[in-house]
Amino acid sequence: MAGSAQVLYSVKGVKKYYPVKGGILRRIKNHVKAVDGISVDILKGETLGVVGESGCGKSTLGRTILGLEQLTEGNLVYNGTNISGYSKKELKPFKKEMQMIFQDPYASLNPKQTVGEALEEVFIIHTNLSGKERRENAIRLLKEVGLTEEHFDRYPHEFSGGQRQRIGIARAIAINPSFIVCDEPVSALDVSVQAQVIKLLQDLQKKHELTYLFVSHDLGVVRHLCNRVLVMYLGQMVELAPVDRLYENPVHPYTEALLSSIPRPVVGAKRDRIRLQGDLPSPANPPTGCPFHTRCPIAKDHCAAERPEWREIEEGHYIACHER
C-alpha cells in the first residue's frame, strides 16, 4: 500500500447514535454513541483492520458504512460518489459492490434454504442469469471456497461451523463485489479451522482484488491479515497506522495497553504488561474530554476537559492524545 494508492471508500465524520428510551412516556432519554466521529479513507485492495474492546462500535461502523444503518451524521463517498443521502433504489448498484461476512454464519443463513438455493438467491436479486447459469455459478462458487458440488442440496445444519463460514463467504463473493466488511469472520471457529478460513480469505482477496474492512478482537489475526489498523475506543478513533508500525511502535496509551495485554505463546517471555484499571465506561455515558481518561495511566487534568484532536505524527500514522 504505497502513498499513491487509490481511495475506494472515504468515510467522513461518521456518527451513529442509538436512542435510549425511558420513563413512562418512553421518551428518548439519552443516546448510545456507538460510533462517534470516524473518518478514514479505505484504500483499493487493502485490508483495513478495526480493533478495540467489545462494545466499542466496530460492528456498528461496519454496518453503517454498508448502508445497513441510517447515518446519524457524516458522509460516505464510494469511488468518488457521495452516497450518504441516497434512497434504497439509488443505493442498489452500490450494494452490489459491497458485501458482508458475519461472525455467526449460522444466523446469517436461512435454515429452511439449501445452500444451493441460498447462493442462487443472490443471483436472482442482482443478475438476470438463467436457471442453468445460476446453478453452474453456484457450483463454481462452492468449489472456490473449498466445498463440493455434493453440498449444493444440503441444509445449513448439516455443516460444521467452518463449512458454514465458507458458505457465508461464497455468498459474499457471488456477484463480484469490490468491498467486503468481514465482521469477526473467524472468531467463532476453532484455531485449526480458523487458520483454514484465514487462508481462504487471503487467496480470494488476491484472486479478485478485494478490499476488506476486517473487524476483529484477535490482535494476532489482525497483524497477520491487515495492511493498516484502526484502533477504536468508545466509538472514537484513537490510533491509525500501517500494521507493522502499530504493533512495533504503538503511540496511543490505549493501543499500548491493548497490545501489552495479549498473552504470548512463548514460555518465560518477559511480561511488562500495562495494567489497565477498571472497566470500559458505558457508551451511553462516555467520559468527557478524552474518552480514555478514566483508565489512562498517564492522564493529566486537562484530559478530562478537552477532547484530543486527531493528528498525523508521522506519515500515515495518526493518534488522538494530548500527551503523546
Partner 1 sequence: MSESILSVNSMVTAFKTKDGLLPAVRGASFSVKKGETLCIVGESGCGKSITALSIMGLLPSNGKVTEGSITFENKNLLSLKQEELRKLRGNDISMIFQEPMTALNPVFTVGYQIREPLMIHQKLSKKEAHQKGIELLKRVGIPAPASRMNQYPHELSGGMRQRVMIAIALSCNPKLLVADEPTTALDVTIQAQIIDLLNDLKRDFNMSLIMITHDMGVVAEIADRVIVMYAGEIIENGTVSEIFNNPQHPYTRGLLSSVPNVDDPDFHLNPIAGTLPLLSEKISGCRFHPRCPHAMEKCRSVSPDAFQAAPTHSARCWLMEDEEVRQHGGQRASTV
Ligand X SMILES: Nc1ncnc2c1ncn2[C@@H]1O[C@H](COP(=O)(O)OP(=O)(O)O)[C@@H](O)[C@H]1O
Binding residues (CB under 6 A) for ligand X: these are 18, 32, 34, 54-60, 283
Contact predicate 320/237, CB 8 Å: yes
Grid coordinates 481511495 are at which residue?
7
Which of residues 32 and 169 has its CB atom nearest to ligand X in the complex? 32
Question: What track of x and - describes contact with partner 1 for positions 40 through 79 (by CB under 8 A)?
Answer: -------------xx-------------------------
In the list ligand X, ligand SF4, Mg ion, none, the entry touching 32 (Cβ below 5 to 8 angstroms by class) is: ligand X
In the list ligand SF4, partner 1, ligand X, none, the entry touching 267 (Cβ below 5 to 8 angstroms by class) is: partner 1
59 binds Mg ion (CB under 5 A): yes
Which of residues 54 and 277 has its CB atom nearest to ligand X in the complex? 54
In the list ligand X, partner 1, Mg ion, none, the entry touching 242 (Cβ below 5 to 8 angstroms by class) is: none
The distance from CA 100 to its chain's CA centroid, rounded to whole angstroms, is 9
In the list ligand SF4, partner 1, Mg ion, none, the entry touching 59 (Cβ below 5 to 8 angstroms by class) is: Mg ion
Taking the complex as a whole, the smallest distance from the CB of residue 245 to partner 1 amounts, in Å, to 11
**Beta-carbon contacts of residue 69 (< 8 Å; ≥ 6 apart):** 16, 60, 63
Which of residues 187 and 202 has its CB atom nearest to Mg ion in the complex? 187
CA nearest 49: which of 105, 116, 1, 106?
Answer: 1
d(Cα 99, Cα 180) in Å, to the nearest integer? 5
Taking the complex as a whole, the smallest distance from the CB of residue 34 to ligand X amounts, in Å, to 3
Question: What track of x and - describes contact with partner 1 for positions 156 through 175 (by CB under 8 A)?
Answer: ----x-x-------------
Core vs surface per residue 7-39: b (16+ CB within 10 A) or e:
ebbbbbebbbbeeeeeeeeeeeeebbbbbbbbe
Ramachandran angles phi, psi of 257, nearest 5°: -65, -40
Contact predicate 284/20, CB 8 Å: yes
Q: Which residues bind Mg ion (CB under 5 A)?
A: 59
